[in-house]
Amino acid sequence: MVTSKEVMELTSAYGANNYHPLPVVVAEAEGVWVKDPEGNKYMDMLSAYSAVNQGHRHPKIIQALKDQADKVTLTSRAFHNELLGPWTERLAKLTNKDKVLPMNTGAEAVETAIKAARRWAYEKKDVDANQAEIIAAKGNFHGRTMNAISLSNDLDATTNYGPFVPGIYKINYGDIQALKETITPNTAAIIIEPIQGEAGILIPPEGYLQEVRKICDEENILFIADEVQTGFARTGKMFACEWENVEPDIYVMGKALGGGVLPISAIAANKAVMDVFTPGSHGSTFGGNPLACAVSMAALDVIEEEELVDKSLELGEYFAIELSAISHPDLKEVRARGLFIGVEFTKPVRPICEALKENGILCKETHETTIRFAPPLVITKEELDWALDKIKKVLQAN
Ligand code: PMP
């Protein structure tokens, strides 16, 4: 049997350097539980950065994968496949938009949204060639591609990768005044996460999303909501924009859209925006492939059938109240929307995450001082109580 140590040694010998906050090898997984090669069992409180909202290897999604694998897996966009129509229709209805454009990863969907906004600015807003501007919020995480890191102000993500994409302006998250001051006649769009995930589960001040919506309407600017991490029931709503009853112009979606089984991402927008793409102007070989569409359909079924939106909301509230009640000298704040929870301390939390791992819970810090708790949404109250006991025990000793 291959050991965890051997796996990690081989991976670091031949694999490029990567970020592995905790040295764990996951060899098997089911629901909220994962196992390493030695048979140690852990509760997954990260859910592959919210890609596994439906739980690991959900039987319905795995069945859809197997069934579709027996028919056809890839056609490229050169040909049609039977699943793309029903899948785009379903996602369009879910987002209340006219049209959906499939991609593969979250970063690619972000790229797609930025490209759509630029074309829209030239073709619908009469911005001069190459002058379109995009506004982003500091602290964001939109992915690893050049456009996405050009939106970022994180040193780890950007150092020595320049020159960056021009025409991007970064303002403080939640700062309406800064937004007003940054807008020019060339502004095409503002892109924001309705709750900043990688920044530490930062919930914007109440009314912020509404204000952004209002300003975008007044100034004729597109509101791009990056719901890659917050979408699909994670925050106790299907999309986190619903916390303020706001409809963005472009939804950016990924992660749990593929049920933790395959990569599939998308943007959704109305015709006025989406029709700026003409045949041949944008695309992806794997985008909207039948295997990913079949998996995604099942992933959406699971969210509906198992009422994961309500579950995330109810269990998230319960979990956050219990976490807030823990008395600990260094615990600063619990921030929660559904099962998207950040617990901020006044000290680095890596030692706490390590102790949690020793007690059977896998989680990680977002930045140095915040632990993110984001289990698969299929978690039961009993499983959450089990985790709460462990967390309390670890916090007493750390
Ligand atoms: N946007 C947000 C808000 C994200 O959290 C992430 C991933 N953490 C991405 C985009 C990028 O997604 P991917 O890793 O699939 O490219």
My answer on whether 68 and 39 are in the same domain is no
Tell how far CA 183 is from the center of its chain.
27
Task: State whether the beta carbon of 296 lies less than 6 angstroms from ligand 1.
Answer: no
CA of 49 to the centre of ligand 1 (A): 8
Distance 393 CA to ligand 1 centre (A): 33
Q: What is the pLDDT of residues 324-351, one digit of tens each?
A: 999 999 999 999 999 999 999 999 999 9
Residue 349 CA to chain centroid, in angstroms?
Answer: 22
Ligand 1 centroid–CA 328 distance in Å is 32
* Same-domain pairing of 363 and 247: no
Count of structural domains, the chain: 2
**Is residue 22 over pLDDT 90?**
no
Q: How far is the CA of 156 from the centre of ligand 1 (A)?
A: 16
Pair (97, 245) in one structural domain: yes
Give the pLDDT score at 20: 82
- Residue at which a domain ends, from 279, 306, 333: 306
Task: Dump pLDDT digits (tens) for 127-159.
Answer: 999 999 999 999 999 999 999 999 999 999 999
Choice among 36, 44, 97, 141 that is catalytic: 141
Please report the pLDDT score of residue 290 as a whole number: 98
Question: Same structural domain for residues 204 and 67?
Answer: yes
pLDDT value of position 1: 83
Domain final residue pick, 291, 306, 321: 306
What proportion of the chain, given as a percentage, has pLDDT over 90?
A: 98
Least confident interval from 10-24, 47-61, 317-331: 10-24
- pTM tops 0.95, yes or no: yes
10 and 106, same structural domain?
Answer: no
Backbone angles phi, psi at 301, to 5 degrees: -55, -45
Length of the chain: 398
Give yes or no: 125 in active site. no
Is 226 designated active site? Answer: yes
Question: Does one domain contain both 363 and 296?
Answer: no
Residue 380 identity (one-letter amino acid): T
Distance 382 CA to ligand 1 centre (A): 30
Q: Give the end of a domain, one of 255, 277, 306.
A: 306
CB neighbour burial string for 30-55, b if at least 16 within 10 angstroms, e if fewer:
ebbbbebbeeeebbbbbbbbbbbbbb
Residue 367 confidence (pLDDT)? 84
Angle at CA of residue 250, ends 270 and 263, nearest 5°: 110
Cβ of residue 197 lying under 6 Å from some atom of ligand 1? yes
251 Cβ inside 6 Å of ligand 1: no
**100 and 225 housed in the same domain:** yes
Q: Closest Cα to atom 5, ligand 1: which residue?
A: 229
Q: For ligand 1, what atom is nearest to the CA of residue 226?
A: 3
Ligand 1 near 316 CB (within 6 A): no
Question: Hey, which of 255, 262, 286 would you mutate to test ligand 1's pocket, going by the most ligand atoms within 8 Å of its Cβ?
Answer: 255
Distance (Å, whole) CA 56 – CA 147: 31
CATH number at residue 35: 3.90.1150.10
Domain match, 391 and 259 both: no
Q: Are residues 131 and 64 in the same domain?
A: yes
Tell me: the pLDDT tens digits for 31-46? 999 999 999 999 999 9
- The domain in which residue 353 lies consists of 4-57+307-397
In a shared domain, residues 80 and 205: yes
Phi, psi dihedral angles at 333 (to 5 degrees): -160, 145
Instruction: Identify whether the C-beta of residue 55 lies closer than 8 Å to the C-beta of residue 374.
Output: no
230 C-alpha vs ligand 1 centroid, how far in Å? 10
CA distance 287 to 284: 5
Ligand 1 contacts CB of residue 311 (under 6 A): no
The per-residue pLDDT for range 65-112, each reduced to its tens digit, is 999 999 999 999 999 999 999 999 999 999 999 999 999 999 999 999
Kindly state whether residues 87 and 189 are assigned to the same domain. Answer: yes
Output the domain CATH number for residue 297: 3.40.640.10
Q: Is 141 a catalytic residue?
A: yes
The interface predicted TM-score of the complex, written ipTM, equals: 0.99
Q: Are residues 85 and 193 in the same domain?
A: yes
How far apart CA 124 and CA 370 sit, in angstroms, is 42
pLDDT of residue 207 exceeding 90: yes
How far apart are alpha carbons 348 and 345 in whole angstroms? 7
Residue of 36, 44, 226, 249 with catalytic role: 226
Q: Is the pLDDT of residue 19 over 90?
A: no
| Residues contacting 304, CB < 8 A, separation 6+ | none
- Cα–Cα dist 270/45, whole Å: 36
Q: What is the CA radius of gyration of the chain?
A: 21
Crossing angle of helices 381-397 and 308-324, in 10° steps, is 30
